[in-house]
Amino acid sequence: MIKIFAFGAVLLSLAACDTIEGAGRDMQKAGAAVSAEAREAKSEL
């Protein structure tokens, strides 16, 4: 029973790593878009 629980915990932690990694990539893209807009706005001044 403990082995099954441990195996399930490992699977859940691996799935969480993928989710967090994907969220990090999304945030990175959003940050790049904001930076690009800020550079564009600054150049128009």
Residue 36 has pLDDT above 90, yes or no: yes
Note if the pTM is more than 0.95: no
Distance between CA atoms of residues 37 and 43, nearest Å: 10
- Looking at per-residue pLDDT, the higher value among 6 and 42 belongs to 42
Average pLDDT value for the chain: 82
Distance between CA atoms of residues 29 and 34, nearest Å: 9
Which ranges in 1-45 belong to alpha helices (H)? 2-44
> Integer distance in angstroms from the first to the last C-alpha of the chain?
66
Length of the chain: 45
Q: What percent of the chain has pLDDT over 90?
A: 27
